[in-house]
Amino acid sequence: MTRHLAHEQSFELLGTRAVDLDCIRPATAPDPLISVVMPSFNRAGLIGRTITSVLSQRLDRFELIIVDDGSTDDTLDLLNDWDDRRIAVFQMRRNSGAPAARNAGVKMARSPLIAFQDSDDEWQPTLLEHHVQALKRADVSFCQLEQRYPSGRSFFPPTGWQLADDVYAQLLGSSHISTQTLAMTRAIFQRVGGFDPAMPRFQDWDLVLRLARIGARFHYINEPLAVAHDSPDSLTRSLDKGIVGRQRLIEKHGEALVAQPAALARHHYVMGSQLRTLGRFAEAQAQFAAVLQATPLNWRAAAQWLLASVHR
């Protein structure tokens, strides 16, 4: 496999240390309207479905930037078989995590508009054209997500949900915007420093909150144009990473959360429940105590605190 050493880059990732990136194959399609950034790690068995859904977009003036994060499977060999001028393939020289890989992909983008996709999910054919139209008047565009499980499906945000005037306050307590639904201007992405590589989970939630906090203009596409599949290695399955990620969100947005005690209580309640599931009962008690401090009449949290106190 040929590596285009002339395109080798060493740069400072947004808000992180320098990371080396090799260009395996550049995109040669001219003048993309939007750059699609997709990290991948050991997804040889799934990434083909995702690439097909991106290449099937009705708007075809885009580039697809795939950043392999040091895969040890056949991902790179599989990518080499895709013959499309819109595809660029880069590889991190060391495994750095999806947020760093996404930041690296944005650095390589040739368009002022950026969309994000995950390597195990799909898009409906009209998503990119909706994003491009929305970003003519907004800084951030996102659509509804269809989450598919073996037993059924659900939608996020739920049907009937609408953007509030104060997007930051609206999103502090609950995450409604997922990475594969997101597009934005490159300028607004750079302004907030990109994804935070120190976030083990909720990188998209954290990014969206930072965008809302600076007053970015959001546009909601009220159609399920992105499809997420329940994967065995999905980050959403990791309780430990979810707890750490939620703690970091509280640290980053603590002042605003104090002003919204119900939202703060919800974070602590979720962490307490997860810690109980993991058998970390003393830590669970501390989280339920924090719920009661924020919302003193929360009888559910009081009951959970009692259960944790008897190791149940």
Q: Measured between alpha carbons, how far is 312 from 13 in angstroms, rounded to an integer?
A: 44
Q: Measured between alpha carbons, how far is 221 from 144 in angstroms, rounded to an integer?
A: 7
pLDDT the model gives residue 20: 78
pLDDT the model gives residue 233: 55
- The count of other CB atoms within 10 Å of the CB of residue 48 is 15
Residues of the chain with pLDDT under 70: 1-19, 231-237
Q: Work out the angle at residue 149's Cα, subtended by the Cα atoms of residues 38 and 207, and round it to the nearest 5 degrees.
A: 40
Instruction: Report pLDDT digits (tens) over 153-196.
Output: 999 999 999 999 999 999 999 989 999 999 999 999 999 999 99
pLDDT the model gives residue 235: 47
Element (H, E) at 190: helix 186-192
CA–CA distances in Å: residue 78 to residues 39, 49, 98, 101, 241: 15, 12, 20, 19, 30
pLDDT the model gives residue 49: 95
Identity at 162, one-letter amino acid code: Q
Across 101-248, the runs of DSSP E, i.e. the strands, are 113-116, 122-123, 140-149, 152-156, 182-185, 218-229
Check: CB of residue 15 under 8 Å from CB of residue 96: no
pLDDT the model gives residue 8: 34
pLDDT the model gives residue 115: 98
pTM here is: 0.91
Nearest Cα residue to 170 out of 224, 121, 218: 218
Instruction: At 197, list the tokens.
Output: 């590589």
Count Cβ atoms within 10 A of the Cβ of residue 33 and give its class: 0-12 exposed, 13-18 middle, 19 or more buried: middle
Q: Measured between alpha carbons, how far is 217 from 139 in angstroms, rounded to an integer?
A: 5
pLDDT the model gives residue 3: 39
pLDDT the model gives residue 150: 85
Cα 213 to the chain's mean position, in Å? 17
Cα 132 to the chain's mean position, in Å? 19
pLDDT the model gives residue 1: 39
Count Cβ atoms within 10 A of the Cβ of residue 142 and give its class: 0-12 exposed, 13-18 middle, 19 or more buried: buried
pLDDT the model gives residue 232: 59
pLDDT the model gives residue 230: 79
